[in-house]
Chains A and B, each alone.
Chain A
Amino acid sequence: MKKIVFEKAPRSKLMRLNKILKNTLVVISAGIILTACATKKEVAVEAPKKEETKKEETKKKEEEVTKIEKIAGQMQGDVYVGTDSVKYLADGVADRVFFATNESILTTASRETLRAQAAWLRANSNITVVLEGHADERGTREYNLALGERRANAAKDYLMTYGVSSDRITVISYGKERPVDSGSNPLAWSKNRRSVTVKAN
């Protein structure tokens, strides 16, 4: 009984203020829900439009990349074609191949490099290798680990096609953990998107 009296005791100003605010909130959130419904419809219709923006984005990206190409001459599309960080397994046998952003497709140049690696590995049948897959820093850590693995496997598959037995190849992904270039620019990122063939013995 006392409790009832207690509850009816005058509220603090703050609480009254809170009540008002809460009521306003309800009104505001109702508004938001309404707008949300409206936008949702738009999204559904927007799907083809998105493709366009994507194309535009890539176009813009390509333009940016062309700019850099002129300056550095080290990128084609956004794939690195320079020799800056490249090491050699043997004379004329480069140790790494490079990838476009978010891609694991081997370029013509990459295939050439891997064919040279395969020939060298066939000639040196006692050698085993580790393929280290890497990603650039512009992605979430966990996805990049998977992407690095996918890139190294693209290289592995190609080596196998050219006669290197799978038991001579180990794959490891470092994701974005071991960049060769610590720069925060497209050229540095292109050097870091790579699969490196390392002698294991």
Chain B
Amino acid sequence: MIKKFIILIFIFIPIKALALIEVDITRGNLNPLPLAVSPLSIDETSRMNFEQILDKDNIGSEISLIVENNLRTSGLFNPLDKKAFLQAPDIANLKPRFEDWNLIKAQALITGKVNYINDKLRVEFRLWDVLAAKEMMALAFTTVPTNWRRVGHIISDKVYERLTGEKGYFDTRIIYVAEEGPKTQRIKKLAIMDQDGANNKFLTLGNELVLTPRFNPASQMVTYLSYFKNMPRVYLLDIETGTQEVVGDFPGMTFAPRFSPDGKKIIMSFAKDGKSDIYTMNLETRLVERITNHPSIDTSPSYSPDGKYITFNSDRSGYQQIYVMKNDGSDVKRISFGNGLYGTPVWSPRGDLIAFTKLHKGKFYIGVMRTDGTGERLLTENYYQEAPSWSPNGRVLIFYRETKTNSKGEGFSAKLWSIDLTGYNERLIKTETDASDPSWSSLLSN
């Protein structure tokens, strides 16, 4: 799908170094920036063509709604009510009357235009600084009409990047485990959806238990644990073709898989005779390498973004703690020393932090610490939550939460949540079914 999706980007005005509006991303959502997302204007012929192809009354408005929703959920922006807009979308895109937008307290304005050209969807958009009365950015995309949601996500990413100085995370997908049925006999399927919950699709039928799916860096392959034929093994799935294969030939359970940052290896645990060690398998050469060798449980390995280090979970001290070692298994250092148990370490894509799950006094926390274990910060506390996964820009964590059941064992649910690195902007991610084990893809465009 990604290969088929060719975006042509024309940069109209290559002004770069001019910082006009800036959003400080490190502050959390204390004071989101008020901005106006004007509906993208569309001529009548184009509107009718897209209505026929996409069954959407006005694709210009639909795309702007996606942008609005993305920017709002980021917690950094406050998109203003469209009813207050004074200027028509087509004129605003040509030359906004900044006084009008200033009047409704918009500090930034997004305008644009949609055209139907040679069976393609062409979208141009502009970002304006209302106070400075200047254009900040102007871009155009051409793609197949069915990609209209992605166009909305790409616009959101461009705006986010221009205003915060950091890459966005909207043109991304989430792979997760969809859950149904009673707690004692859960049916679990692999599922994939856009970051905003749209385009949900099940990838397995639920005949066998599946757990912990993770994307490869290109977000086209997934590694996960499947109980196919009652043999828990790490599998590899090509999302596009649907082909699956077992990873390696291990005489026992393999689990907790992840890709190396170059996508060439899978790192995972192999359990035998009551001990679990960490192994890698090179997907090209099929070479298996043993990384740890200890009578304890070593699991949940995750590479640093440069591939030089591995963080993992081990109970070699007697309790679950987080460790860091070199990628060949040497130089093992414990980094978690606070009270409680630590699990599921995941290295941030920026390389500076490790996210984790912590269990202390009957509560579960999602937190982050520096890679040497200092600066521990707990972001959220709950009855049960675990398995954080980073947004590709390293600013947001997605994880899952399970509820406590009542005395009869009823009321169980599992849901996906996200939270900013700042500890603000905690959000429920709506899914069709119950959900767990989320993994965030890389940015699909650029």
Are B255 and A15 interface neighbours, CB within 8 A? Answer: no
Interface-central residue, A9, A179, A184, by most chain B CB under 10 Å: A184
Interface residues of A in 136-187 (CB under 8 A from B): 137-143, 145-147, 149-150, 153-154, 157, 171-174, 177-185
Q: Which residue of B lies closest to A10 (CB)?
A: B132
State A50–B341 Cα separation when bound (angstroms). Answer: 12
State A138–B357 Cα separation when bound (angstroms). Answer: 12
Residues of A within 8 A of B18 (CB): 6-7
Are A182 and B253 interface neighbours, CB within 8 A? Answer: no
State A44–B195 Cα separation when bound (angstroms). Answer: 42
Interface residues of A in 22-52 (CB under 8 A from B): 22, 25, 36, 40, 43, 50
A14-B131, A57-B361, A182-B409 as given contacts; A21 in contact with B24, CB under 8 Å: yes
A142-B212, A145-B256 as given contacts; A150 in contact with B375, CB under 8 Å: no
Is residue A70 contacting chain B, with contact meaning CB distance below 8 A?
Answer: no
Please tell me the number of chain A residues within 8 Å of chain B, measured between CB atoms.
51
Q: Which residue of A lies closest to B271 (CB)?
A: A149
Are B275 and A150 interface neighbours, CB within 8 A? Answer: yes
Instruction: List the one stretch of B68-76, B88-96, B179-187 in contact with chain A.
Output: B179-187
A150-B297, A178-B184 as given contacts; A142 in contact with B343, CB under 8 Å: yes
Partner of A146, one of B209, B269, B359: B269
State A104–B271 Cα separation when bound (angstroms). Answer: 15
Question: Per-residue 0/1 for A41-67: is the Cβ within 8 Å of any B Cβ (1 yes, 0 no)?
Answer: 001000000100100010000000000
Residues of A within 8 A of B182 (CB): 182
Are B269 and A142 interface neighbours, CB within 8 A? Answer: yes
Is residue B211 contacting chain A, with contact meaning CB distance below 8 A?
Answer: yes
Interface residues of B in 384-402 (CB under 8 A from A): 384, 386-387, 402
Are A13 and B131 interface neighbours, CB within 8 A? Answer: yes
Is residue B230 contacting chain A, with contact meaning CB distance below 8 A?
Answer: yes
A14-B131, A172-B253, A188-B409 as given contacts; A179 in contact with B300, CB under 8 Å: no
Question: Per-residue 0/1 for B1-37: is the Cβ within 8 Å of any A Cβ (1 yes, 0 no)?
Answer: 0000000000000000111111110110000010000
Q: Count of A-B contacts with CB under 8 A?
A: 150
Partner of B274, one of A104, A139, A172, A183: A104
Please tell me the number of chain B residues within 8 Å of chain A, measured between CB atoms.
69
Are A177 and B271 interface neighbours, CB within 8 A? Answer: no
State A15–B231 Cα separation when bound (angstroms). Answer: 58
A36-B374, A143-B297, A182-B409 as given contacts; A153 in contact with B273, CB under 8 Å: yes
Interface-central residue, B24, B357, B412, by most chain A CB under 10 Å: B24
Are A140 and B344 interface neighbours, CB within 8 A? Answer: yes
Is residue A107 contacting chain B, with contact meaning CB distance below 8 A?
Answer: no
State A57–B359 Cα separation when bound (angstroms). Answer: 13
Are A15 and B22 interface neighbours, CB within 8 A? Answer: yes
Is residue B196 contacting chain A, with contact meaning CB distance below 8 A?
Answer: no
A25-B26, A138-B359, A140-B386 as given contacts; A179 in contact with B183, CB under 8 Å: yes
Are A145 and B22 interface neighbours, CB within 8 A? Answer: no
Partner of B22, one of A7, A18, A53, A184: A18
State A103–B350 Cα separation when bound (angstroms). Answer: 36
Q: Which residue of A lies closest to B338 (CB)?
A: A43
A149-B276, A154-B274 as given contacts; A182 in contact with B184, CB under 8 Å: yes
10 closest residue pairs by CB, A with B: A153-B274, A182-B409, A140-B343, A182-B183, A12-B131, A146-B276, A146-B297, A184-B404, A149-B271, A142-B256
23 of the cross-chain contacts (CB-CB < 8 Å) are A9-B132, A11-B20, A11-B132, A14-B33, A14-B131, A15-B21, A18-B23, A43-B338, A139-B341, A140-B313, A141-B212, A142-B269, A142-B313, A143-B300, A143-B320, A145-B255, A145-B299, A146-B255, A149-B274, A154-B274, A172-B253, A177-B209, A182-B183
Given contacts A140-B313, A140-B359, A142-B300, could you give 14 more A-B pairs where the C-beta distance is less than 8 Å?
A: A12-B20, A15-B20, A21-B27, A36-B374, A137-B384, A138-B362, A139-B320, A140-B387, A142-B313, A149-B253, A150-B274, A153-B273, A154-B274, A172-B230
Hey, which bits of chain B sit against chain A, CB under 8 A? Answer: 17-24, 26-27, 33, 107, 129, 131-132, 182-186, 209, 211-212, 225, 230-232, 252-253, 255-256, 269, 271, 273-276, 297, 299-300, 313, 315, 319-320, 337-339, 341, 343-344, 357, 359, 361-362, 374-375, 383-384, 386-387, 402, 404-405, 407-410, 412, 437
